A and B are shown apart, each in its own frame.
Chain A
Amino acid sequence: MIEHAPILAVVLPLFMAFLMPLIGILAERYKIKYLREIIAIGVMAIVFLITVTMALDVWAGEVVVYKLGGWSPPWGIVLTVDALSIQMALMISGLGTLVMIYSAAYMSRDNGLSQFYTLSLLVMTGMLGIVLTGDFFNFFVFLEIMSFSSYALVAFRRDAKAIEASVKYLFLNSLGASFILLSIVMLYGSVGTLNIADLAVKLASYQGAVVPSILVVALALFVTGIMIKVAMVPFHAWLADAFTAAPTAISALLAGPAAVVGIYWVARLPYLPFGTPIGIILIAFGFASMFFGVLMALMQRDFKRMLAYHVISQKGYMVLGIGLGTIGAAFGTQGGLFHLFNHSTYKALLFMGAGAVLYQAKTQKFDELGGLAKNMPLTALTFLIGALAISGIPPFNGFVSKYLIYLAGLQAGLPWITAVAVLVSALTLASFIKAFSSVFLGQRPTRLQATPEAPKLMLFAMAVMAALCVIVGLLPMLGFDIIGPAASATQNTAGYISQVLGGV
C-alpha cells in the first residue's frame, strides 16, 4: 500500500475536479479532442488502482487508519478503511471508471462538458469520502458534496423535466441531510465525540441501562435521513423523477455507484456507532420497497422510469437482506452486500443500454420504440444479460445474491418473506420481458429503420459490465472473496474499535 493511499483516493478526484475548467479552456484553445474525457477516465482509473493496493492490505486482516495531520483518534479526523469500506470503494472507483468511459461517448453532443466532468468528479469525491471516513461530521460534509453535485448533474440539461426532477431531489434530500446533521449534533451534545469508533464505545456503555431519550431521537432522525438518501418506499418519490430526467450517464452513475453509499450506511447502522437492534425497521422498509417498487415498475411506459422503480425494488432486497442479517440469519448480510455488488453492475448496465437506445433513437417511451434488435444487436444482447441478471435467472449474478437472501429469510424463520421475495423476482422478470420485447423486438417503426448501433465506447463499457454479470454468476466464489471479508467486518465492531483506538 502507498503510505498516503486513503487520502489520495479522496483528494485526487477533488483537485482534478477543480482543474477541469482550466483543462477545458486548454482543450478548446489547442483543439485537443477528448482531453477532458481522457483525464477524467485516467483519474478514476488511478483511484481504482489506489483502492486495489489498499484492498490487499485490508483483506490481510488490517484496518487501515490514516490520521489527517497526524492527530490521533478520537481527537483528530481519521480515515478508516475496513473490509466493508474497501468493498464500497472498489465498486465506486471501478464502476466510476466505466461510467466515465460511457459518458465520453454519451455526452459528446452536449455543451459545458468541463462543468459536467467537474461535477462528476465531485460526486466521486463525495462517495469515496463517505465510505472511507471514520469521522461522523466528515461524513456529513462528504454527503453534502455528493448530494449537491448530483442535484446539479440531474439538472444538467436545464430543460423543464430536468429542473422539475432536480427541484424535487433537492428539497427532499436537503430535508434528509438536515435530519442527519441534527442527529450528529445531538450525538455530539450528549456523548461529546465525533469519531465513529469512539462514539460506538461511549454509546455501548448505555447497554442494559435506560437509554436517554435524546439518543433515541438521534437514531430516529439518522435512520430517516439515510432512508431518504436510499429512497426506501415512503421516501422514494424523488428517485424515479431524478433518474428519468437526468442524462443517462448520470442515471447510471447514481444507480450504480451512488446507491452504494446509502447501503453502506444501512450496513453500518445496526453495528456502528449505534449498536442498536434496528433489524425490524430495516426489514420493514426493505420489504415494502421491494414489493411496491416492482408493482410501480410494472405500470411504467417510460424506459428509464421503469428502470428507476426497479432500483427502488432492488435496494429493498439489499436492505431486507441486511435487516435479516441482524436478527440471526447468517446469510443475510452477505446476501445484502453481494446483491449490492451485483445490482451496481447490472443496473448501471441496464441504464447504459437505455441510454444507448435514447442516444440513437431519441426517445425513451416504450410506445415509440420497437424492433431495435436488428439495428443494435450488441446493445440488445448486453441489455438481455442485464435483464436476466436482475430477474435472478441462473447462471447470472443476480441469482446468486437473491438466492442468499431467500436462504436468509428461511434462516430467520420468516418463510413468507422468502415467498414474497421470489414473487417479486418473478414480477421483475415479467416487467423486463415487457421492456425487452417492446424495445428490441416486434414491429419496427419506419422512423427507426436507419438507427445505427451505439458508439464503440458505450459498447465497451456495457460489454465489461455484461462480462462481470456473467463471470460473477458462473464463479460466485470470486464475489465471495470480496463480500466475505466485508460481511464479517460489518459485524466485527470490537475489532474495528480496537484497531482504530488502539494507537491511543
Chain B
Amino acid sequence: MILSLNYVVAMLLISAGIYCLLAKKNLVKMLIGIVVMIDGVHLFLISLGYRAEGIVPIFNSEVAPSLPYFVSRAVDPLPQALVLTSIVINICTTALALSLCIYAYKHYGTLDPSKIKELKE
C-alpha cells in the first residue's frame, strides 16, 4: 500500500510538472515545472528499489547471516546509483537554464516566453 502511494505521488508530480511547463508564461516558473517533473521521475525511480525492512546490499556476515536471507531482504542498489547520477545531471540543467534566464531578462527585460521572439520575422 505504501509502495503504490509512492507511485501515485510520483505520477502526480510528473503531471503537475508538465502542466506547469505548458500553462505558465514565465521562464522561471516553467523551469520549476521541469524540475518538479524530473523529481517525480526520481521519486518513481527510487521507489522501485524500496523494500520494507530492507538491508544494506553488502553481502557479509555482519549484515546478513545467510545468502537466502540476503536475497530476501537486500534492497536493489541500482536505482540509488541511477538517481544520484540523474540528480547531478538535473542540477547542471537547472543551473544552465537559470543563467540563460538571467541573460534573457537582461536582453529583453521580461521573462514571458511569448514576448521573447526576435528570431521570428
Contacts and interface: CB of A to CB of B under 8 A. Distances in A.
Interface of A: 137, 140-141, 144, 148, 151-152, 155, 158-161, 163-167, 170-171, 174-175, 178, 181-182, 185, 188-189, 194, 241, 244-245, 301-302
B13 to A, nearest CB: 11
B34 A171 contact: yes
Interface stretch (B53-61, B65-73, B96-104): B96-104
Contacts of B75: none
A188 B21 CA distance: 26
Contact of A241 (B34, B82, B119): B119
Contacts, number: 89
Which 6 pairs across A and B sit closest by C-beta, in order of nearness? Answer: A160-B107, A163-B103, A144-B89, A185-B45, A189-B48, A182-B41
Contacts of B79: 188
B85 interface: yes
Interface in B83-118: 85-86, 89, 92-93, 96-97, 100-101, 103-104, 107-108, 113, 116-118
B49 to A, nearest CB: 10
A174 B34 CA distance: 7
A155 B101 CA distance: 12
A175 B93 CA distance: 11
B107 A163 contact: yes
B93 A148 contact: yes
Main DSSP-derived SS at the A contact region: helix
B104 A167 contact: yes
Contacts of A152: 96
Given A141-B85, A160-B107, A245-B119, A175 B34 contact: yes
Interface of B: 14, 18, 21, 27, 30-31, 34, 37-38, 41, 44-45, 48, 78-79, 82, 85-86, 89, 92-93, 96-97, 100-101, 103-104, 107-108, 113, 116-119, 121
Contacts of A182: 14, 41, 44
A217 to B, nearest CB: 11
Contacts of A165: 119
A433 to B, nearest CB: 22
Contacts of A144: 89, 92-93
Contacts of B104: 163-164, 167
Given A174-B34, A178-B34, A185-B44, A148 B96 contact: yes
Given A167-B100, A171-B31, A175-B34, 7 more contacts: A152-B96, A158-B103, A161-B118, A164-B119, A165-B119, A174-B34, A245-B119
B32 to A, nearest CB: 12
B48 A188 contact: yes
Contacts of A175: 18, 21, 34, 37
A95 B103 CA distance: 32
A151 B15 CA distance: 25
A303 B60 CA distance: 66
A167 B14 CA distance: 21
A174 B21 CA distance: 11
B92 A148 contact: yes
Contact of A171 (B14, B30, B38, B117): B30
B100 A163 contact: yes
A140 B82 CA distance: 10
B34 A161 contact: no
Nearest to A171: B30
A158 B107 CA distance: 9
